[in-house]
A and B are shown apart, each in its own frame.
Chain A
Amino acid sequence: MTSTVGADLPLPGATTTRGAVERADTGNIARRSKRRLTSRGATIASLIIAVLWTIPTFGLFVTSLRPQDQITRSGWWEVFGKWDLTTENYQTVLGNEDLTRSFVNSIAITLPATIAPLAIAALAAYAFAWIDFRGKNIMFILVFALQIVPIQMTLVPLLTLFSRGLHAGNATLFSGFQGAGLYTQVWIAHTIFALPLAIFLLHNFIAEIPAEVIEAARVDGAGHGQIFLRIVLPLTVPAIASFAIFQFLWVWNDLLVALIFATGEASPITRTLAELTGQFGRSAYLLPAGAFIAMLVPLIVFFALQRFFVRGLLAGSTKG
């Protein structure tokens, strides 16, 4: 394996004996490359990046633990001189009904809004990858291009459609979602907005599945439905899981769609926090603790699914 790949590379000075030397040296090289990749300069650089990227969050964390009257009176770094921390803010947040309800809302909005676009996009991506039809390339590029439609542009027409329905003359084509469930609008909106990117990324991955595998299944009499369920889905799990993480984060942290579609009772945590920021002074001191609680769920999701990133999203497209 080692020698064949090496020989395929158009490198100068390749000799027939190299393969043997290389095989004998593999362990040594692995050790050497490891040492070089994590050389002192690189270590320092990565430490600097890590510290720079962590300081802001760390500051928020310290702030969230400070007493209400201290938060904006002095800098958070001054706690290191005068130790004065409390979990009071967290208790207040967890006791604040608006925040706890919107936390539950966030979960109720995010899970369906992660699964639905993934399933629909996987179906479409499969069609773009493995079913031939005329105009396929153009259609795929169009779907890709839809990514760039600013969501702001689509919000008002979509809202009108949801609230008034669709009419042609006197006939009602679609009666609208006026009053239909708390989260219906926001689920559908997130699903729609996620589709272009999801189709694009999943297609990259699904298209990399070796044609022989698909062909073999077809010869055995499997239709597209079976091929999709039994072959493509299991092979695509890493890509689907990685995209699921991102989609989860994006929906969880979304404010824009929530501002328009998740009103009142359905308001997710981002929206409630933003409203707290607005009424400055009264409960603004709860923001750091609230933001930290809001952050917990995405971090748990990332921890839980992180291993998929290794084989992850786009791993297929590296060969392209």
Chain B
Amino acid sequence: MLKQFFDWVGNLPPLAQVPVVIAAFVAVVGLLLFFLEVAPRSGRGYSILRVVVSIAVPALVLFLFGSIWWAIAIAAVLGGALFLMDYRSKQGKGYILQLVGFLAPAVFLLLIGLVYPSIQTIFAAFYSSRGRFVGLENFQWIFSQPDNLVTIRNTIIWVLVVPTVSTIAGLAYAVFIDRSRGEKFFKILVFMPMAISFVGASIIWRFIYGYREAGQSQYGILNGIVTLFGGTPVNWLQQAPLNTFLLIVVLIWVQTGFAMVVLSAAIKGVPTEQIEAAELDGTNAWQRFTNVTVPGIRSSLVVVLTTISIASLKVFDIVRTMGTAYPDTGVIANDMITLAQNFETGRSAAFAVLLFVLVLPIVIYNARIIKKQREIR
């Protein structure tokens, strides 16, 4: 049984589990690929193989999951697939079987892990925590509380500021250090924050924003600078709405490394000939940058902006570890968890749906780009 396998693995020393699981995983993927490769071939040997597989796989599933229903379902699917394969579809032998084989693992995991929970959450948004249908009441609650409005405003500020600033900073840095001496070293300096967990980052930034009353020795560097010039120390994170921006700085600090690394690779992909040609035509550095480099890395820019936008919508660690003690720092992702932990499932789900709605523009924009790319191909 699958569970027994994981049980057995679980009893190994932690580091021994790694090679065992990876080996098992690679073996499964390898067998799948092997079968997909040979399944459509003709010849008696392959026919026997097909028969063996269509009996062995359901039996294996029965053995692994301990569920007769899964075994039946898979036997039906496999049998159907093999039948269709022999039916010689227009695209060639084994077409559907191969398609299913390549896509099934990903689709199966996405369905149980992302699609099914999303649908469940969307339904939950219209029910009270006790399971009574309440219609739009949860959403009314969201928009009637001033605190929640601040949370929504903060989330929008995050998603507007973080991607813009970190992409610009990362791009500028990547361009400046491109082909310079010590480029690798410079890259690592800015990349380093990415290697730090948000938990670590929140510790780091405590030594930046830290506050003690005037007269005491400061341990936060900002107040250290302020007192150095004779000012009164400020309790930075207590100042709304400044504190939201101070927390945003932390995420920018982390995400710039991502933008820089990806964009730097993209810049190196822009043909030097194009830049040289532009230079021959007497363009200056800025014109070359906007007319040659930027169009050349456009799709990378879109990917970076999209990824960082989604990251900043999902941000909760920074706010949770640094901001919860301070006023007006809430963001949707964090409030959602807090509500869920207080068993307010309906309201939490309503926030989740709101978050989903906020991301829709990004998806639609990307969907249009994907479609355009497909048309070119």
Residues of B within 8 Å of A173, CB to CB, are: 67, 69-70
* Bound-state Cα–Cα, A71 to B219, Å: 8
From the candidates A5, A54, A157, A199, name the one contacting B271 in the complex (CB within 8 A): A5
Interface residues on chain A, number (Cβ under 8 Å): 147
Beyond A273-B197, A309-B265, is A53–B219 a contact (Cβ under 8 Å)?
no
Which one, A13, A175, A195, A246, contacts B281 given CB within 8 A?
Answer: A13
Q: Which single member of A77, A158, A255, A298 contacts B195 (CB below 8 Å)? A: A298
Partner of A57, one of B116, B184, B196: B196
Known: A74-B219, A309-B264. A291 touches B299 (CB 8 A): no
Min distance, Cβ B58 to any Cβ of chain A, angstroms: 15
Contact across chains for B29 and A108 when beta carbons are under 8 A apart: no
Contact A153 B349 (CB under 8 A): yes
Q: Which residues 23-42 in B have Cβ within 8 Å of A in the complex?
A: 25-26, 29, 33-38, 40-41
| Majority SS at the chain B contact face | helix
Q: Does B336 contact A (CB under 8 A)?
A: yes
Q: Among B47-55, B134-142, B199-207, B234-242, which stretch is in contact with chain A? A: B199-207
Docked pose: A295 CA to B297 CA in angstroms: 30
The number of A-B residue pairs with CB atoms under 8 Å apart is 420
CB distance A75 to B176 under 8 Å?
A: no
A201 close to B70 (CB less than 8 A): no
Is A46 in contact with B366, judged by CB distance below 8 angstroms? no
A172 to B67, CA, bound (A): 6
Q: Are A144 and B363 in contact (CB under 8 A)?
A: yes
Q: Does A93 contact B (CB under 8 A)?
A: no
Q: How far is the CB of B233 from chain A (nearest CB, A)?
A: 11
A49 contacts B172, C-beta separation under 8 Å:
yes
Q: What residues of A have a CB within 8 angstroms of the CB of B66 in the complex?
A: 172, 175
A78 → chain B, closest Cβ, in Å? 8
Q: Taking the complex as formed, is B251 at the interface, i.e. its CB lies under 8 A from any CB of chain A? A: no
> Is there contact, CB below 8 Å, between B367 and A144?
yes
Quick one: which of B187-243 are within 8 Å of A by CB? 187-200, 202-205, 207-208, 210, 217-221, 224
**Given A148-B310, A246-B258, residue A224 in contact with residue B219 (CB < 8 A):** no
- A156 CB within 8 Å of chain B: yes
Is A180 part of the binding interface, using a Cβ–Cβ cutoff of 8 Å? yes
Q: Is the CB of B195 within 8 A of A168?
A: no
Q: Is B59 an interface residue (CB 8 A)?
A: no
Known: A22-B276, A112-B21. A123 touches B105 (CB 8 A): yes
Check B37 against A225 for contact (C-beta < 8 Å): yes
Residue picked from B276, B310, B321, most chain A C-beta under 10 Å: B276
- A127 touching B102 in the complex, CB below 8 Å, given contacts A173-B67, A318-B297: yes
What residues on B are CB-neighbors of A195 within 8 Å? 106, 109-110, 113-114
Task: Decide if A104 touches B340 in the complex (CB within 8 Å).
Answer: no
Q: Which residues of B contact A83 (CB under 8 A)?
A: none
Residues in A whose Cβ lies below 8 Å from that of B121: 153-154, 157
Does A247 belong to the interface (CB within 8 Å)?
A: no
Interface size class of B (residues with CB under 8 A): 35 or more
A36-55 near B? 1/0 per residue, CB < 8 Å: 11110011011001100111
Contacts of B86 in A (CB 8 A): none
- The 8 Å CB contact of A72, one of B114, B120, B219, is B219
Q: Are B189 and A50 touching (Cβ within 8 A)? A: yes
In whole angstroms, what is the CA distance A302 to B186 when docked?
Answer: 14
B266, A318: Cβ atoms closer than 8 Å: yes
Interface residues of A in 237-267 (CB under 8 A from B): 242, 246, 249, 252-256
CB distance from A100 to the nearest CB of B (A): 11
Decide yes or no whether A12 CB sits under 8 A from chain B. Answer: yes
Q: Is the CB of B99 within 8 A of A127?
A: yes
- Whether A94 sits at the interface, judged by CB under 8 Å, is no
B175 touches A37 (CB 8 A): yes
A22 touches B352 (CB 8 A): no
B148 CB-CB contact with A under 8 Å: no
Contacts of A43 in B (CB 8 A): 176, 180
* Other-chain residue from A2, A5, A112, A320 in contact with B299 (beta carbon distance below 8 A): A320
Query: In the complex, which of the residues A46, A123, A153, A207 contacts B102, with contact meaning CB atoms closer than 8 Å?
Result: A123
By the criterion CB–CB under 8 Å, are A318 and B300 in contact? yes
> Cβ of B176 and Cβ of A144 under 8 Å apart?
no
Residue pair B106, A149 in contact (C-beta under 8 Å) = no
Indicate if the CB atoms of A277 and B106 lie closer than 8 Å.
Answer: no
B18 at interface, CB cutoff 8 A: yes
User: Inside 8 A of A108's CB, which chain B residues have their CB?
Assistant: 14-15, 17-18
Report how far A74 CA is from B105 CA in the complex, Å: 55
A183, B373: Cβ atoms closer than 8 Å = no
Q: Do A288 and B106 touch across chains, with their CB atoms under 8 A apart?
A: no
B14 x A182 contact (CB < 8 A): yes
| 14 pairs of residues in contact across A and B, judged by CB atoms under 8 Å | A5-B271, A33-B275, A59-B204, A112-B25, A119-B25, A146-B115, A157-B117, A172-B69, A175-B67, A207-B377, A223-B94, A269-B197, A291-B199, A318-B297
Which 5 A-B residue pairs are closest in the complex by CB-CB distance?
A225-B37, A181-B10, A192-B113, A291-B200, A181-B6
| A137-B371, A223-B98, A277-B202 known, 12 other contacts, Cβ within 8 Å | A5-B277, A55-B221, A75-B224, A121-B106, A152-B316, A155-B117, A173-B70, A174-B65, A175-B66, A204-B303, A310-B265, A314-B299
